[in-house]
Structure formats: structure tokens, C-alpha cells
Amino acid sequence: MNKLKLTEGLLLVVFYLAIFSACIAITINFRGLYYYFVWHQDLGSKVGLSNHQLITTYQRLLAYLNYPWVQQLDLGLPTSFNAMHHFTEVKALFFKNYLILAASFPVSCWWLKGLWQKRRLFILITPCYYLLSLGVVVLTLMVTNFNKFFVTFHRLLFANDDWLFDPKLDPIINALPASYFLAAFSLFILLVFISLVGIIGIARYQLKHL
């Protein structure tokens, strides 16, 4: 198997960014996952709301995080200054992810089309296997000690402790159980795995039919 050229190496990074950003976008907007936890764990009762009201609150939160024209966030619950600042930082991360997706996805599609036409998709097989192996390691660490994983994740993304909500000041945290975040991270990893396995399958198919 030929070694990747420098240009192909850079395009491979862009390809990975497209996969990651797309899987992130799908995960953070998959409302059904949170709705399941709302009804299954009766989360509304933990913040003094009905489950329908909590779902409406969640929808307002997603609208604030997703839409640039939504500049004010009203959860209908007490919200501290630190919590509002954290949500502002999360909104910025959402838009950075969407920017990465918008920039990397068209380039990746163009590159994959070229590899398909040149019958060179096989160069993706080994890198995808490496990434799958890394994903297994991350998944193992996450499942083994999710609390530590969750804290480390936030330490890497945020330069402050505003994400450490006080339930007395920010009751919304009671409606965001660790089990939900574990499921969300698991969904993201599953989507990445499906994407990589799909690419490997298509590449192997093409390799066998050269």
C-alpha cells in the first residue's frame, strides 16, 4: 500500500474533521435522546416543572445555542451569571463546529469523489482502522470512569469552572443527569464508528473489484 503523500495527509485530516464535526452536529441536535431521559426519569419533577415544560425549556436552550439571531436565553428557571456565561461559551463552540463542518465537508466530498474515480479509496482503510482502535480506547476510558472523563473533557474545552453548576443557583443541572451525557457521548462515538466502518466497507469493495 502506497504511503500517503503530504497533500493526501492533509486531506485525510480534513476528512476526519468532517466526520467528527458532522457526528457532533447530529448528536447535539438529536432531541429524541434527551426526550427519552425526560420521560424515562421524570426529569421535570426534579426542577419543579412538568415534563412538557422541561422539553420546552430544552428547546429554548437549543434554539439559543444553534441560532445566531437568538441572543437572549430564558430557561424559565433561576440561572446564575456563571451558568449564563457557560452557555455563551457552549454557543461559541457550537458555531465553531458548524464552521469546521461547512469548510471540511465539501472538500472531503470532492476528495472522496476523486479517490473513487481513481480507484484509490484503499488508502483510507489503514487510517480508519487506526482511528477505530483509538475510539475503542476512548470508549473504554469513558465507560470505565465517566465522571473523570467528563471532568477532563470540560477541563480541555473550558478555561474556567463555570460549567460546575450549583443546583441551588442553577436547578437546570438537576435535569441534566450524567446518564444523559454518557448516552450522548456514546451516540457520538457510535456515529463515528458507523462512518468509519462504512468507508472501510466501500474501500474494500472497490479494492476487490479493481
Q: Tell me which residue range forms the domain holding 178.
A: 6-208
133 within some domain: yes
Quickly count: other Cβ atoms within 10 Å of residue 193's Cβ.
16
Amino acid at 76: G
In a domain, 21, yes or no: yes
Q: What was the pLDDT predicted at 76?
A: 85
Rg of the chain over CA atoms, in angstroms? Answer: 20
pLDDT in tens, 77-119: 888 999 999 999 999 999 999 999 999 999 999 999 998 888 8
Average pLDDT over the chain reads: 91
Does residue 186 fall inside a structural domain? yes
Kindly state the greatest CA–CA separation across the chain. Answer: 64
pLDDT 10s digits, 18-57: 999 999 999 999 999 999 999 999 999 999 999 999 999 9
The average pLDDT across 187-204 equals 94
Q: Is residue 1 part of a domain?
A: no
Question: Which segments of the chain does DSSP mark as H helices, in order?
Answer: 6-28, 31-41, 51-66, 81-117, 125-144, 146-157, 178-208
pLDDT in tens, 130-164: 999 998 999 998 989 999 999 999 999 998 998 99
The domain tally of the chain equals 1
Q: In this predicted structure, what is the pLDDT of residue 2?
A: 52
pLDDT reported for residue 1: 46
Give the Cα-Cα-Cα angle 103, 106, 112 (nearest 5 degrees).
130
Predicted local confidence at residue 4, as pLDDT: 54
Place of cell 422539553: 55
Instruction: Look at residue 180 and tell me if it is in a domain.
Output: yes
For helices 6-28 and 178-208, the axis angle rounded to 10 degrees is 140
pLDDT at position 208 is 82
- Quote the CA–CA distance of 120 and 3 in Å, as a whole number: 12
% residues pLDDT > 70 (the chain): 98
Reported pTM: 0.91
